[in-house]
Amino acid sequence: MGKKVALTGNEAAAHAIRQINPDVVAAFPITPSTPIPQNIAQYIADGKMDTELVTVESEHSAMSACIGAAAGGGRVMTATSANGYALMWEMLYIASGARLPIVMAVAARALSGPLNIHGDHSDIMGGRDSGWIELVAENSQEAYDNLIQAVKIAENKDVMTPALGAFDGFNISHSIEIWEMEDDDKVREFVGEYEPLFPLLKTEEPVTHGAWAPPDWYFEHRMSQLKGLLNAKDVVVNVGKEFGKAFGREYGIYEAYKMDDADYVIVAMGSVCGTTKDVVDSLRDNGVKAGLLKLRLFRPFPYKELADVLSGAKAIAVLDRVSPAGAQGGPLFNEIRSALYDANNRPPVINYSYGLGGRDTQPVHINSVYDTLKKIVETGKVEKQFDCLNLRGAWG
């Protein structure tokens, strides 16, 4: 319904932010999300945005400035990746604890050690407990759409929680593809006006932000905060429906691709889902009942809904774009398994780490996953609960 454009994922994010036209963007550049604040700076210089851009000296300062501006009463957005996201780690908790609906674009990239600038989910997985809503996009269209919806979700009175819209670094951030950009006024109309709850700049009703909560208060505040995050799940669905009415593309907490009668299911997030859809189609052409559960909302984790949609499968493989880092499997695997623990039907669930540090994941690799799932169903045995896709050397 919008205008067809050929632009990268970063440009999609930058345009979304331009159209939302927040009060403040405080940001520091880092590959691969640098073009986002860069383009925003250009839009502001060209008079296309009224936003105050604060070019700070680090990502920690970026989030700090965002918090100050949001507490002041402004609608605030920013962008970062990987080590930048990690540098602002303590401030992520401050933002969510203060219930400030800051919205951040994250071009997901590997965390260094060794140094790597490429696509990976280490950043958003590392921050999964920081109290932020996490939406993950498959492509540029979703990167754009998610940021616009994130503003409405975060600012909902029952939510009032910061939100991030992630998309794979380089795979999506730097790839040109065709997607639809909506009209400036329609986007502005969709996000509406921001109504802050306790803005510091409303001096006739003075408040204190950032107070200390001693042991006999902290726990209650933390749980109150959790309620807001949990409320986001229903709001994501409602905003997704509103978005569908306004722009013709409806969203939910996941996308069930050919899942109705699927025996062999992959659960994944991000750009690998596009490649997987192609493989599902060709397997289906050959009579194999393959399906893909593409998760869009990672935090709060919709475990009930996922257990419902997955429990009919015969075998499931969960793909994590991070190392399991000492856990039984990657974070998505661990949480899916936990979700299925109470289900009446518990299909075998296996885990793959893939695409770390920008490692390419190709149709042949996805095919090997479905082959393994078929073998599990045929033999009734799981040879390896965890493995890696496209890793040199057999893991074990």
Partner 1 sequence: MAEKLLDWNEVLIGATIKDPGNSRSYETGSWRVERPVWNPDECIQCMFCWVYCPDSSILVDENGKMTGIDYDHCKGCGICVEQCPKKSKALTMLLEADAKGKSEEEIRKEAFSK
Partner 2 sequence: MSKKLDIRWHGRAGQGAVTAAKTLAELISQEEGVYAQGFAVYGAEKRGAPVIAFTRIDDKVIRDHSEYMEPDIVLLLDPTLLGLVDVKEGLKDNGKVIVNTSFDKEQVIEELGLQGYDVYVVDANKISIDALGRAIPNTPMIGALAKVTGLFSKDEISKGVVELLEHEGKFPQKIIDGNREAIEKAYEEVK
Residues that bind partner 1 (CB under 8 A): 97-100, 160, 197-198, 205-209, 211, 213, 216-217, 219-221, 223-225, 227-228
Residue 168 binds which of partner 2, partner 1, none (CB < 5-8 A, kind-dependent): partner 2
Closest distance of CB 214 from partner 1, Å: 11
Closest distance of CB 320 from partner 1, Å: 33
Q: Distance (Å, rounded) from C-alpha 251 to C-alpha 267?
A: 17
Q: Tokens 């984790």 label which residue?
A: 301
Backbone angles phi, psi at 187, to 5 degrees: -65, -45
Residue 174 binds which of partner 2, partner 1, none (CB < 5-8 A, kind-dependent): partner 2
Closest distance of CB 293 from partner 2, Å: 16
Choose between 211 and 394: whose C-beta lies nearer to partner 1. Answer: 211
Residue 213 binds which of partner 2, partner 1, none (CB < 5-8 A, kind-dependent): partner 1
Within a 10 A sphere around the Cβ of 347, how many other Cβ atoms?
19
Q: Distance (Å, rounded) from C-alpha 53 to C-alpha 56?
A: 9
Residue 100 binds which of partner 2, partner 1, none (CB < 5-8 A, kind-dependent): partner 1
Choose between 221 and 241: whose C-beta lies nearer to partner 1. Answer: 221
Q: 37 pairs with which residues across the strands?
A: none
Strands (E) located in 81-123: 103-108
**Burial of residue 2, with CB atoms counted within 10 A of its CB: 0-12 exposed, 13-18 middle, 19 or more buried:** middle
Residue 216 binds which of partner 1, partner 2, none (CB < 5-8 A, kind-dependent): partner 1
CA 176 to chain centre: 20
Residue 139 binds which of partner 2, partner 1, none (CB < 5-8 A, kind-dependent): partner 2
Choose between 176 and 213: whose C-beta lies nearer to partner 2. Answer: 176
Closest distance of CB 23 from partner 1, Å: 18
Choose between 364 and 382: whose C-beta lies nearer to partner 2. Answer: 364
Closest distance of CB 7 from partner 2, Å: 8
Choose between 102 and 269: whose C-beta lies nearer to partner 1. Answer: 102
- Using CB under 8 A, list all residues that contact partner 2: 4-6, 117-118, 138-139, 168, 170-172, 174-178, 271, 273-275, 277-278, 358, 360-364
Cβ-contact 361, 389 below 8 angstroms: yes
Choose between 115 and 211: whose C-beta lies nearer to partner 1. Answer: 211
Q: Distance (Å, rounded) from C-alpha 36 to C-alpha 191?
A: 20
Choose between 131 and 330: whose C-beta lies nearer to partner 1. Answer: 131
Residue 125 binds which of partner 1, partner 2, none (CB < 5-8 A, kind-dependent): none
Choose between 3 and 212: whose C-beta lies nearer to partner 1. Answer: 212
Cβ-contact 346, 316 below 8 angstroms: no
Pairing verdict, β 52-55 and 254-257: unpaired
Choose between 308 and 360: whose C-beta lies nearer to partner 2. Answer: 360
Nearby residues of 79 by Cβ (< 8 Å), 6 or more positions away? 13, 17, 27, 33, 36, 37, 104, 105, 106, 107
Closest distance of CB 76 from partner 1, Å: 15
Residue 227 binds which of partner 2, partner 1, none (CB < 5-8 A, kind-dependent): partner 1
Closest distance of CB 183 from partner 2, Å: 18
Cβ-contact 126, 112 below 8 angstroms: no
Closest distance of CB 151 from partner 1, Å: 18
What is the chain's Cα-based Rg?
21
Closest distance of CB 274 from partner 2, Å: 3
DSSP string, 30-90: -TTTTHHHHHHHHHHHTTS--PEEEE-SSHHHHHHHHHHHHHHT--EEEEE-HHHHHHTHH
CA-CA distances (angstroms) from residue 391 to 352, 359, 360, 376?
A: 11, 9, 10, 21
